């Protein structure tokens, strides 16, 4: 096992995937970074899926625009993926890129670079993640994998201990992929009320082991954006306006 010094690691850093929210990018030091697991948490309708789709496109921003020029893989567990909306977003991004360079990818090309896997149940999600090795061999340029939403898939299982076991398996699978391929994972999660010291608190679901294993958790509410792993320790990053997402 090789030791690397912090200096070498700093030099090795690859470009990042911008989230499109300036303050959030700054907090994440440039955006979503390969090699880490990010989690988006929020109530339904706060723009998690929207942000995921945006990331699928932002990962394709060419090198000259400080992008990663890579492809994305999208695991959808609740049929939330909306190709029409993705097209709109792609058109928007393509138009912006076109201003800077003529060789920018077109919206259609961008849509071709987003791979989509439909997972109707938990087993399919786990199988899909395990199969990623195969996808990645075929398409080594995939740098972003999105799981939307992980809590929906995991909570389909009734037994709590089975859930944890499955979740750990998913994490194990993700870790292995990351070590081999230098990928960024973005997963989405819901929040629920949890009673602690006889008062209800809004927390992200899936438990604390899960929170330990993810690297950064991003909270989205209707008009604010937070970073932090627990409701108590999260920090306000910026106010969001409806149109930023």
Write out the residues near other proteins by the rule CB under 8 A: 1-7, 9-10, 13, 29, 35-37, 155, 160-161, 163-165, 168, 171-172, 175, 178-179, 192-198, 203-209, 211-213, 215, 217, 228-230, 232-236
Q: Which is nearer to other proteins, 2 or 137 (CB)?
A: 2
Strand 199-204 to strand 191-196: parallel, antiparallel, or no bridges (unpaired)? Answer: antiparallel
Minimum Å gap between C-beta 156 and other proteins is 13
Distance between CA atoms of 30 and 16, rounded to whole angstroms? 6
Strand 235-239 to strand 199-204: parallel, antiparallel, or no bridges (unpaired)? Answer: unpaired
Minimum Å gap between C-beta 129 and other proteins is 15
Minimum Å gap between C-beta 161 and other proteins is 7
Distance between CA atoms of 136 and 189, rounded to whole angstroms? 25
Q: Which is nearer to other proteins, 211 or 244 (CB)?
A: 211
CA separation, residue 230 to residues 21, 153, 159, 205, 211 (Å) = 21, 22, 25, 11, 8
Are the CB atoms for 74 and 116 separated by under 8 Å?
yes
Minimum Å gap between C-beta 218 and other proteins is 13
Tell me which DSSP letter residue 104 carries. Answer: P
- Residue matched to tokens 């997963």: 187
Q: Which is nearer to other proteins, 9 or 99 (CB)?
A: 9
Q: Which is nearer to other proteins, 87 or 234 (CB)?
A: 234
């Amino acid at each position: 096992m090789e030791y690397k010094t912090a200096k070498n690691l700093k030099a090795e850093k690859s470009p990042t995937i911008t989230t499109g929210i300036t303050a959030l990018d700054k907090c994440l030091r440039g955006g979503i970074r390969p090699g880490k697991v990010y989690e988006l948490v929020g109530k339904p309708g706060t723009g998690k899926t929207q942000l995921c789709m945006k990331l699928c496109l932002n990962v394709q921003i060419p090198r000259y625009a400080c992008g990663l020029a890579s492809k994305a893989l999208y695991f959808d567990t609740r049929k939330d993926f909306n190709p029409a909306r993705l097209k709109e977003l792609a058109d928007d991004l393509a138009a912006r890129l076109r201003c800077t360079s003529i060789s920018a990818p077109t919206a259609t090309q961008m849509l071709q670079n987003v791979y989509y896997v439909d997972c109707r149940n938990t087993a399919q999600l786990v199988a899909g993640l395990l199969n990623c090795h195969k996808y990645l061999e075929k398409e080594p340029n995939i740098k972003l994998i999105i799981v939307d939403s992980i809590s929906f898939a995991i909570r389909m299982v009734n037994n709590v201990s089975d859930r944890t076991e499955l979740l750990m398996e998913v994490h194990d699978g993700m870790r292995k992929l990351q070590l081999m391929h230098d990928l960024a994972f973005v997963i989405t999660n819901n929040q629920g009320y949890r009673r602690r010291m006889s008062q209800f608190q809004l927390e992200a679901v899936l438990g604390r082991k899960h929170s330990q294993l993810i690297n950064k958790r991003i909270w989205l509410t209707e008009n604010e954006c937070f970073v932090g792993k627990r409701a108590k320790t999260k920090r306000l990053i910026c106010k969001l306006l409806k149109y930023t997402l």
